[in-house]
Chains A and B, each alone.
Chain A
């Protein structure tokens, strides 16, 4: 089993739709979780950290399910500008952070 797994997509959704991505991780001791956004041929940019209690930032909601070892990202009211690859990141040990392969989202007009 891979340390961090994501559905590569692509997820093609219309503008205004709600879309959710999951990311599973194998290390039950992991404590730090993040979602990054990466535009084509650009560097990843931090979208949000994922806290145990779940957290929301505008149209974006991140949740952690420790029992099933996955994190999720929900995007409401999708915009064309949300089209990107979404990468989940999980720590594997104190200093090593593992990225998933990313989930591609395309928001259609």
Chain B
């Protein structure tokens, strides 16, 4: 039973560039949430996708956008990268359209913006 898979594991980008991160949820899960974790901080909620729609968003600018596909996988896109976007990006999946049983996290994508 595959857990949450994220790709790539590491990425280095230049300021102003755009990046796309990918996530496949755990088998049987239909809800995908994205979090940003800066060094020494807790994960910060970016947004959540369910039924291919963004249904909740955190305090992140419009440069952060996403998508969910019919197979429940998801992408996180960040445009016009800033140095401050350097962080670990975590994808979390849950089932039944809810999070009441907690998330399963992927191992993350570590993004470095130079």
Binding site for B on A (CB under 8 A): 4, 6, 32, 34, 36, 42-46, 49, 87, 89, 91, 93-102
Contact = CB atoms under 8 A, between A and B. Distances in A.
Contacts of B104: 46
B105 to A, nearest CB: 4
Contacts of B102: 34, 36, 46, 49, 89
Contacts of B41: 101
Given A32-B100, A44-B90, 18 more contacts: A4-B42, A6-B42, A34-B102, A36-B102, A42-B107, A43-B90, A43-B106, A43-B107, A44-B43, A46-B102, A46-B104, A95-B50, A95-B56, A97-B99, A98-B45, A99-B35, A99-B45, A101-B40
Contacts of A99: 35, 42-45
A3 to B, nearest CB: 10
26 contacts: A4-B42, A32-B99, A43-B105, A43-B106, A43-B107, A43-B108, A45-B105, A46-B102, A89-B102, A91-B99, A93-B56, A95-B48, A95-B50, A95-B56, A95-B99, A96-B45, A96-B56, A97-B33, A97-B99, A97-B103, A98-B45, A99-B42, A99-B44, A99-B45, A101-B40, A102-B42
Contacts of A96: 45, 48, 56, 58
Main secondary structure of the interface of B (DSSP, over half): loop
Contacts, number: 52
Contacts of A44: 43, 90, 103, 105
Contacts of B99: 32, 91, 95, 97
Interface string B28-42: 000001010000111
Contacts of A93: 56
Contacts of A42: 107
Interface in B59-114: 90, 99-108
